[in-house]
Structure 1
Amino acid sequence: MSNIVIVFDFDKTIIDCDSDNWVIDELGFTDSFNHILPTMPWNSVMDMMMMELHSNGITIEEIEKVLHRIPIHHRIIPAIKSAHASGCDLRIVSDANMFFIETILKHLGISECFTEINTNPGYVNQQGRLTILPYHDFNKASHGCPNPCPPNMCKGLVIDRIQNTISEVDNKRFIYLGDGAGDYCPSLRFRDMDFVMPRKNFPVWDLICKDPSLVKAEINGWCDGEEFEQVLVKLINNIMIEENAKFISSDCKLQSLSTPVFETLPKPLSVRP
């Protein structure tokens, strides 16, 4: 098992669009969505739209078929599979919903790559319609974050919880990938030994560029699926080389000079040309 934890946003990071917009647009309910959007938070709008889809006879199976057509760059899946095969702990923190994410990951054949999905609850109720709830119930209390996080989810608080559940003894290194304004808050939570991968020319990139000194982690931008894979593989390999060098150095100190040290390094990840 690697000492690397990789946390992915989902929309416009793993997939190449917004899954909420994709479903609404593909099923022909864009006008209704745009009419409701100014009246309530996005997460609440999506729940209302799922109610409207159901009342218009749209089935869960039809929603699933639309999700199966979701656009994704052809290098994203190999990058995720390679990271998983190397022993990295892969997690998702997303402002989409559980039903959409699980349906897409299962269809793409990469569900088993992720140890945890943190997102808004989404499930099919007894009436057979999709119900979407907020991750943070903002009707009860605000999450209180001063950063540009939506009321239903502060990803920074999610990252705090993940970091608090990981022992400092394990010395885990984090890589965080995202694109939206909501990915700025978690980017501020990492240490100088960690890495953030903001998508170039997207809201999180613009926010970070306003004052990069606020981000302690090393910043590595990416623009598309090919660069996503190249940068991620490079970071994983560099961390593994660095950590194994530390291990060998420490091991050498514990052995006599006459005792040879044999250490098999993990095979570096490669990027297909």
Structure 2
Amino acid sequence: MTQQLLACPAPAKLNLFLYVTGRRADGYHLLQTAFQLIDRCDTLDVEVRNDGQIIRTNDIPGVPAEADLIVRAARLLQKKTACPLGANLTLHKILPMGGGLGGGSSDAATTLMALNQLWHTGLSKTELMSLGLQLGADVPFFIFGENAFAEGVGEELQAIQTPERWFVVIEPGVQVPTPAIFSAKELTRDSKIVRIADFSSNAEMFWKNDLQTVACAMFPEVDEAVRWLSQFGNAKMTGSGSCVFCAFADESAADKVIAQMPERWTSWKAKALNRHPMDE
């Protein structure tokens, strides 16, 4: 029996557009977005324990183990399935926190997928997605495993095809707290609802992120990154920020932009993925 899985990928996502279309009675915002998987990943080493304990084996600055989504995900699966086994979890983190790349959600999704396999708990993809939603609105997308048009609070997913391309991503050096963006009174909350067919037929249109204006006003660093990258194409923020991205047809075009990047920013290129690497 397999007792461990090493270097399990937890890929980042980009929001190709993000509209806020309303607000529910419970305060959650209704969204429409297109999620794009990219090949920049955190990785997770998972080892089965026989004593039922869930242990994160390494320190992650600013994230106590008890609050870490990977630990919470493992405990949730353990409780849901009454599994007597435990796990050692080692997270190799490269995706920035507070960057809008879904890193924490992706880490949690990979934890659920890896432990469902190692513990032989036998949950279906749909059951895992439902469990993941308890941890965060983006978690079901990563378990879904394909690029997706998303609605609701982000959990109603339909698979979409996106073009082969490369992205340049800038980390502006600030963490953007999601609640601050969503609670801003100037946030647009009534964007016109679009259909998946509208997006699929016009994927290169200048789709926008409704959260970007608020984030740029609060964080000049984000605004500066958007302005700089916009000279090369339709640059926009992903999620609630802070990372900013622009799409390119090929790797060499992305390399040329990175070669001109101001030194004050961390930047990198990433390739579009069609499927989650754990789902292949």
TM-score by length of 2: 0.27
Which protein is richer in strand relative to its size? 2
**Higher RCO, Cα 8 Å, sep 6+:** 2
Q: TM-score, normalised by structure 1?
A: 0.27
Q: Which has the larger radius of gyration?
A: 1
